[in-house]
Chain A
Amino acid sequence: MSRKVIKSVTNLYDKKIERLAEVPDEKLPPLKNNKELKYIGRGISRIDGYDKVSGTAVFTFDKILKNMAHARILRCPHPHAKIRKIDITKAMNIKGVIDIITKDNTEKIDWYDGDTFIFDEHLRYQGDEIACVAAENEVIASMALKKIEVEYEILSHVTDKMTAVKEDAPKLYDWGNISPDANPAKYNRGDYEQGLKNADQIIEEEYNTQFVIHNPTEVHCSTVDWNGDHLTIWDSTQGIFAVRNSVAAALKIPQNKITVIKKYMGGGFGAKLEAGKYTVMAALLAKRIGRPVRITIDRKEMNLAVGNRPDSYQRLTVGVKNDGTLTALGMTMYGAMGAHRDGAGCQWPLRSLYKCPNVKVEEYHVAINTGRSRPFRAPGHVQGTFAFESIIDMAAEKIGMDPIEFRLKNYAEVEANWEIPWTTKLLKECYKQGAEAINWKSKRNKKAGEGKGPVKRGVGMASQIWWGTGGPPAYATVKLNRDGSVHVLSGTQDIGCGTYTILAQVAAEVLEIPVERITVSLGNTDEHPYGPSSGGSMTASSVTPAVYDGALQIKAKLMSGASALLGVREDNLVYSQGVIYSKDDKNKKKSIQEVVRETHEQILVATGARNARPQGVMLNSFGAQFAEVEVNLETGKVKVLKIVAAHDIGRTINRKLLENQFHGGIIQGIGYALLEERVIDHYTGKVLTTNLHNYKMPTIKDAPEIEVIIVSEGDDQISAIGAKGIGEPAIIPTAGAIANAVYNATGVRIRTLPITPDKILNQVYNIG
């Protein structure tokens, strides 16, 4: 099984991502057919279950080192200011304060692609970093924060994107407030104006979506320790290699002098994909004081400073013929990046969900005086899909067509942006099975809001497309011990989704040994081969094929070892359940333990690689969600009764974990649709929702019945495993489906998320 190095190309948004990667030279042998699979596809319990239910799992938040100091960050209370002077004298005099770093006593270190520094004197949002204190404990550190005296020059601020784009708005940067990367970002396909002329109906609508915060349960935190010139970082991160590389660059030290470790972490959802300033600060402090440092941020900082889904204003135009054919799609959108550059767009659902020859998009990404946006579970697609699938629902109604029929009428058979076929696309099947499961025909009101009485019911649906599907480079090492037990190692992370378990399943499948004999170790930049960051629904689809390759290599080694030991040619041997037999003489056999022992090996080692992505085809996951809701028009309350999620996500590796991922994504989608919102007082520029008291996430009582239907089998053009990825698809269509269901129930169309009781009553009673 030879290897080759290729330039792997992935289309992601309008970017072509090119990376060199070593991949298997040939297509790997396929998996057995489904019925014969013993581990892959089964609902195997988590192999890390014990640590989690017993509280013995050590998260980064729990990492304690001897003689450790505790660090806390002083943050700017104003939305926009310059530092005139910082005086740390009083704070330093507090007993137990060890050290304080600020812009005055540290070097300038570039951060956020050169937009700012670790400590900048220009503070661009409430929560911008000013100083970092190391103390004997957190209480003292917090006390010291209050004693640091900062003199500010208060600057005028702007916290609303539509104000920020006005000429006289206060500016955050030399380049103004609109990102040079998107002023506007344009896309044109066909002839949009002509497309509108060809339309029988033109629908134009405005939508707004809110900022939401990831709020994983474990806060962002690191514990760092220098040993001579070597730095070890325990970090609650979705990307250990990303952290290693950023910190190495920031501190100007070689990458081999840094080890980043992450074992268990309490969620991330995109907020923990990059290194945080806090980690660099902790490393600086630890070096200065010669002690390990633990740094944590609190829930308020979580809600101010470590990322959010950007908001959006979207003006959408749909041109449609009376027979249902889409002739033109137009979008002008503004999204707030927060105080530093980051993507804030959401055009992709509109560009790729349906067939439409004429498309025009303009996006403006706007800087405002709030914390910076970060990718949040399906960045862009969640905002975009809500608005686009809402207007599609309206278009269908306008021409008197059932929404599903309308979607089928405009079904894209080839990818519309590049005009290439998909490896697999089973969206039709999602519509069909989903509609059946929710009882679409009988539950849908013919006329929106036609139900009697103040409590109305209705159903609605929305579709989804996502990237995912993974790719190289991704590697995994498989080690077989003398006793037949196995280690699987990869430098990716399990952020809660169950990566530990599914990797064990793949190794178990190939080597035909029980999952209990397999240990999986992830999240160490020194000890593990490179694995991808855990984001974009790419971990399973990238790493499982690498484990597959590694395990196949081990099997090949075992076969050649057995061949030598038994004196039987390899093609005359069969491998079954960890024993290798001669085809001719079943008594001639060696167990894998015997092969390792008798060939005088201690362990067999092989490193597997993820195969190349197929070229000339497009890879996406698809799905449709259906919502049934109940709306009380007396109080305006919306209750989601049921969600059916029908998706094409390639192969299911573990049904239990897959369902979990779907449920979690859908509940976050319900939070997005109905509850969650970061609220800013634009006058003071301050965030009003800085705790879980005011930032409401769904509880067990808000969870409706959820039915998950997987319409797909493994997509073997993607990899031998054939998984597409599921983390993101789960959340994308939920809000759109709910909004459309609310309309079907009540006749009230809510165009601004979240759909709160006041918005419903305001429309029903025409107030506000």
Chain B
Amino acid sequence: MEAQIKFVLNDEIVECFENPALTLLDFIRKHKKLTGTKEVCREGDCGACAVIKGEINENKIIYKLINSCIYPIGNVNAKHIVTIEGLNQSEFTPIQQAFIDEAASQCGFCTPGFITALTCYLLSEEQYNYNTAVDAIAGNICRCTGYMSIRRSVNNLIDSVNANWSHKLSRIDNLVGLKIVPEYFRGIQNKLMEISTDVVKTIRLNEGKRIICGGTDLFVQHPDDLTDSENEYVSDSIASEITETETEIHIGANVSFEQFNRSDIIGLYFPGLHEYMHLIASLPIRNAASIAGNIVNASPIGDLSIFLLGINAKLILVNNKRQREINLKDFYKGYKSLDKSDDEYISKIIINKPSENFYFNFEKVSKRQHLDIATVNSAMSMTIEDEIVKEAHLSFGGVAPVPLYMAKLSKDILGRKIEPGLLQYVVDDSQNELAPISDIRGSKEYKSLLVKQIIKKHFNVLFPEVFTAEVIT
């Protein structure tokens, strides 16, 4: 079951044979004895194990943050992996210095995760500011400091980096010059070129093999299973393009959440997207998790499934013999049951380009404001002509065994006028299609109530002049 793995770990080329399901974290800590990278939750929820992943794309290295505890070693081929040890220099890096000056570590167990996350932020963002830098560490849990000192460190850091940045130099020259990363970073591109020749560039269909893109869910749910089975690990650069035709947007199955978030094409049609995406998982998870994975996982509260249902997306399914198209809303048959045979996989997700009078909103209510599983989430889209609903799609998560597309309601409101009375109609009608259950995220009564509240919110956000604060209360 072992496979050959070849990648660059910090400044050294590593070649080994490993079970591809071995987590990168175990490889780093146990095999390489690099114990600066910590383990806290082992399921992507804390950022203590964060490492930087670099990959060549069109002659540039693209760096992204990942949680090594749920990242298979099978996916690191031809990549650059950087741990805290690979950032240390003869003096403190400015990030480390900022942490020391503001006493931003207490017990220090979480600190390497924060340092690598912030380094990766500087390696990957086009512009630096305090808010996006804080977003970059929103997935890092610290149980001691209360985060204030970390915020101050970030603030000082961003100010000093921006003040000392030379616009004449390349990013890497700046970062090396500022001692944010060590000198050896300059030579990484060549090293990667050297070892990248025999990397697989397509998805290989193989009887009985599970295709794993991000694996952020599987490594939490069935880590042992993965070690014992044969899987096809799909590297990030495969099937990960977002393209457009005249009327459609095509999203490769392996497009990650974060790629989706940052895509110019998507951003053009869904300008509010960043707001929603910040409610969905932490950056390292968004970097690894694939959209197709979220759809296939079929969690009744999957954020992106709900999002895509709300705009009536379509899927392209393929196997060795054929290819077919199916509406996402018809894909879910029952709890974790899909209209997909074992040998099929999703190759693409297609969404129609919205017309001019298109309205869209996404809402999510969870216990913790950020990075939490939703109690209830929902998306609603509408196309309006002369105040009349021409097309509508409404989806809800957390209120049925599947990500719920409200088929009846979406049909029932066609031809209706956008006027205050519509709201009560939609609220009443919505209750017919729900089947919430009580669980740790809330009672079924509470979830039904949330559905009503969220519908009000949708209308208030999309048509504030019609559904004013008075109308919705």
Chain A residues engaging chain B, CB cutoff 8 angstroms = 43, 45-46, 48-59, 61-62, 64, 137-139, 142, 215-219, 264-267, 269, 298-299, 453-454, 495-498, 634-637, 639, 656-657, 659-668, 675, 679, 688-689, 691-694, 696-703, 706, 756-758, 761-762, 765, 767-768
Contacts and interface: CB of A to CB of B under 8 A. Distances in A.
Interface stretch (B56-64, B186-194, B288-296, B439-447): B439-447
Contacts of B83: 55
A767 B445 contact: yes
B473 to A, nearest CB: 6
Given A264-B108, A496-B106, A761-B450, A217 B38 contact: yes
Contacts of B84: 54-55
A538 B453 CA distance: 49
A762 B40 CA distance: 35
B149 A299 contact: no
A660 B368 contact: no
A45 B103 contact: yes
A559 B347 CA distance: 82
A555 B30 CA distance: 48
A55 B442 contact: no
Nearest to A143: B224
A265 B144 CA distance: 12
Contacts of A693: 41, 43, 45, 220, 373
Contacts of B41: 299, 691-693
A701 B138 contact: yes
A299 B35 CA distance: 18
Contacts of B40: 217-219, 266, 299, 692
B100 interface: yes
Contacts of B92: 50, 53-54
B148 A706 contact: yes
14 contacts: A46-B100, A49-B100, A52-B108, A55-B112, A266-B110, A299-B43, A657-B103, A660-B146, A661-B106, A691-B43, A699-B371, A758-B446, A761-B449, A768-B445
B453 A217 contact: no
Interface string B66-100: 00000000000000000111001000100110011
State the main secondary structure of chain B at its contact with A. Answer: loop
Contact of B46 (A51, A639, A692, A765): A692
Given A59-B109, A663-B147, A761-B453, A700 B473 contact: no
Contact of A635 (B37, B103, B138, B365): B365
Given A46-B105, A698-B147, 6 more contacts: A45-B100, A51-B108, A298-B42, A660-B145, A667-B147, A699-B140
Nearest to B447: A758
B223 to A, nearest CB: 10
B151 interface: yes
Contacts of A64: 33, 35
B150 interface: yes
A219 B109 CA distance: 10
B111 A52 contact: yes
B148 A53 contact: no
Closest 9 CB pairs of A and B: A55-B36, A663-B146, A496-B107, A266-B109, A52-B108, A55-B84, A62-B35, A53-B96, A667-B146
Contacts of A692: 40-41, 43, 45-46, 141
A130 B111 CA distance: 35
Nearest to A265: B107
B107 A639 contact: no
Contacts of A663: 145-149
A662 B109 contact: no
Contacts of A53: 92, 95-96, 99-100, 105, 108, 111-112, 115
A50 B36 CA distance: 12
Nearest to B134: A700
A694 B440 CA distance: 8
Contacts of A219: 40
B39 interface: yes
Name, among B43, B108, B442, B454, the residue most crowded by chain A CB atoms within 10 Å (CB to CB). B108
B340 interface: no
Counting contact residues on chain B (CB < 8 A from A), the size range is 35 or more
Nearest to B83: A55
A62 B115 CA distance: 19
Contacts of B142: 217, 700
Nearest to B99: A53
B471 to A, nearest CB: 12
B146 A706 contact: yes
A132 B117 CA distance: 37
Given A664-B145, A679-B440, A767 B103 contact: no
B107 A218 contact: yes
Given A57-B108, A699-B370, A767-B445, A656 B473 contact: no
Given A688-B440, A692-B45, A693-B43, A703 B453 contact: no
Contacts of B210: none
Interface string B370-402: 111101000000000000000000000000000
B48 interface: yes
Contacts of B353: none
A696 B367 contact: yes
Contacts of A266: 38, 40, 107-110
A453 B469 CA distance: 7
B143 interface: yes
Contacts of A696: 367-368, 372
Given A264-B108, A696-B368, A55 B37 contact: yes
> Which among A635, A699, A767 has the highest number of chain B CB atoms within 10 Å?
A699
B446 A762 contact: yes
Interface in B415-473: 440, 442-443, 445-446, 449-450, 453-454, 456-457, 469, 472-473
Contacts of A138: 30
A672 B120 CA distance: 32
B103 A656 contact: yes
Contacts of A701: 134, 138, 369-371
A659 B37 CA distance: 27
Contact of B449 (A46, A661, A697, A765): A765
B214 interface: no
A573 to B, nearest CB: 38
B424 to A, nearest CB: 16
A693 B372 CA distance: 8
B455 to A, nearest CB: 11
A639 B369 CA distance: 9
Given A692-B141, A761-B446, A454 B42 contact: no
A293 to B, nearest CB: 16
A665 B147 CA distance: 11
Given A696-B368, A706-B148, A54 B446 contact: no
Nearest to A708: B148
Contacts of A702: 368-370
B325 interface: no
A762 B442 CA distance: 11
B143 A215 contact: yes
Contact of B106 (A56, A498, A706): A498
Contact of B144 (A55, A496, A656): A496
A4 to B, nearest CB: 37
Q: Quick one: which of A264, A697, A701 has the most chain B CB within 10 A? A: A701
B102 A656 contact: yes
B101 interface: yes
Contacts of B37: 55
Contact of A757 (B38, B103, B148, B365): B365
Contacts of B105: 46, 49, 52-53
B143 A700 contact: no
A45 B40 CA distance: 26
Contact of A216 (B143, B445, B456): B143
Nearest to A643: B146
A639 to B, nearest CB: 7
Contacts of A664: 106, 143-146
A694 B85 CA distance: 31
A498 B144 CA distance: 11
